[in-house]
Amino acid sequence: MGTAPNHFLGLEKEFSDYAPSKTVVIPAPFEASTSYQQGTSRGPQSVITASHQVETFDIELGQDCHTQGIHTLAELAVQGKSAKTACDLLYKETKKILDDGKWPIMLGGEHTISYGLFQALFERYPDLSIFHIDAHTDMREAYEGNPYSHASILYLIRKQCKKTVHVGIRSMCEEEALYVKKNNIPVYYDFETRKTGLPQDEILGHLSKNVYITVDVDGLSPQVVPSTGTPEPGGLGYYETLDVLKKIFKSKNVVGMDFVEMMPIPNVVYGDFAVAKIIYKCIGYKYFL
């Protein structure tokens, strides 16, 4: 391994060319409205670099899971663009990937960029539901006057798609709390699920057949992923995250995924590696469960 520096896992040609690959990784290093620590535009490359250290043999699944092919696109030219233009670019790219019958995994970049992926998936799968891991609900109507911001992305999405489930949540403003209550949205608050565990069957009950999974990596504990712009204490553990994802992959059709808000910290690589490993676990769950 380690032969192709810009490819996820550093896979050789046989397993990373576009045509035979079932999975396509889309690096989308968009950063415009980050509010605390900056640097999420470097997130996609840091995860790809870390992925070169991930062992391709999966112990749990008892096999190599890269054999269905994982193609990695060049970084989308989204940086410096408006959020709308950046999302349009990702939308078009995702549409093409779906037309080709492939499975998209997007790497952000700030959460705003997820809107482009969502649009392409929702257009293709009108019954789409969304499983959202995040420390924050991201349901402000706008953030600093901007409806296309990392803090309002789920509000924007929910204007079109109401079937959403949220876990890891441990920070939101009053406006968001009222919105959640008023719309009876299944939000699983971290301070409660720390005690009870995630109610996996109940979560599955809220999801339709075709599921889009959006992971803001700050939904996980900073002990697992410190490399993010707005770290929050608490959060999902590594195995807890894998357990719920596995359950969803087992009983639903996961039509697309993204991992956003990674912000590499110089010389602190274990968070980048954890994210790379979770992505590879998901590829295994998609094709080998």
- What does the binding site for Mn ion look like in residue numbers (CB under 5 A)? 134-136, 216, 218
Which residue lies nearer to Mn ion by CB, 171 or 251? 171
Which residue lies nearer to Mn ion by CB, 70 or 225? 225
Provide φ and ψ at 181, rounded to 5°.
Answer: -65, -50
Distance between CA atoms of 73 and 89, rounded to whole angstroms? 13
Q: Is 127 exposed, middle or buried (0-12, 13-18, 19+ CB in 10 A)?
A: exposed
Distance between CA atoms of 113 and 117, rounded to whole angstroms? 8
Minimum distance, C-beta of residue 101 to Mn ion, in the bound complex (Å): 32
Which residue lies nearer to Mn ion by CB, 31 or 134? 134
Three-state DSSP state, 114: helix
Give start and end residues of each alpha helix (H) in 125-226: 153-158, 174-182, 190-196, 200-206
Distance between CA atoms of 208 and 78, rounded to whole angstroms? 31
Minimum distance, C-beta of residue 66 to Mn ion, in the bound complex (Å): 29
Minimum distance, C-beta of residue 110 to Mn ion, in the bound complex (Å): 10
Minimum distance, C-beta of residue 95 to Mn ion, in the bound complex (Å): 26
First to last CA, the chain: 24
Which residue lies nearer to Mn ion by CB, 70 or 172? 172
Minimum distance, C-beta of residue 20 to Mn ion, in the bound complex (Å): 35
Which residue lies nearer to Mn ion by CB, 134 or 190? 134
